[in-house]
Structure 1
């Protein structure tokens, strides 16, 4: 007999639902012990989750470091450009040699401060 095939396939139509909400999927019975797992299995899952989180954190930190390097490069480039413009503006008013002397003096002061 084919009782196993009949029992394993659910009936396609079970009639009208009592509350009248035919558009809802029929729910399975509540089984409180269905999700219980062994302690070892939970530990393995926890360990795998922890490893995944550390890997994600490393990847995020690496990505952020690349981003910060790019931002710092842009800032340095802008600062150099502003400084060059400032010296060019000074060169219009003063002699070239004096501007170069001021540059050297400012570089010395910057090195002393840091």
Structure 2
């Protein structure tokens, strides 16, 4: 038996982190095996049971229904705002039209009164 101590750093067996091709800066990867549960992600499709998948589908359908409801509510608020703007514009146009019509009718009435005054004046002068 020898009494010398073996230093693990100088041993002939390479450490698992040292690569044979010399590319030590690259991380070591596990082989890609899609059929196994431990490959890559923890939520592989084969590891889930039918009940778990069905529960996931139910959950996503509930979330989508809620999103659809919120979008419809938001769209209804938007349409209501647009409709109120249109109503205000229509009321403003109607008021302007009525004012123009009133001014026109007032002008006709004033013209009629002037003619009547003229007639009365002429009648008085006789």
Superposition TM-score, scaled by structure 1 size: 0.60
1:31 pairs, out of 23, 30, 33, with: 33
- What residue in structure 2 maps to residue 79 of structure 1? 90
How many residues are paired up? 84
Shift of 1:28: 3.7
- What residue in structure 2 maps to residue 62 of structure 1? 73
* Rg comparison, structure with higher value: 2
Deviation string, structure 1 residues 47-81 (Cα, Å, up to 9, x no partner) = 00000000000000000001100110000000000
**Unaligned segments of structure 2, at least 5 residues:** 1-15, 38-43, 110-126
Highest RCO, 1 vs 2 (Cα 8 Å, sep ≥ 6)? 1
Superposition TM-score, scaled by structure 2 size: 0.55
Please provide the CA RMSD for this pair.
3.0
2:56 pairs, out of 41, 45, 70, with: 45
Distance 1:87 1:14, change over 3 A: same
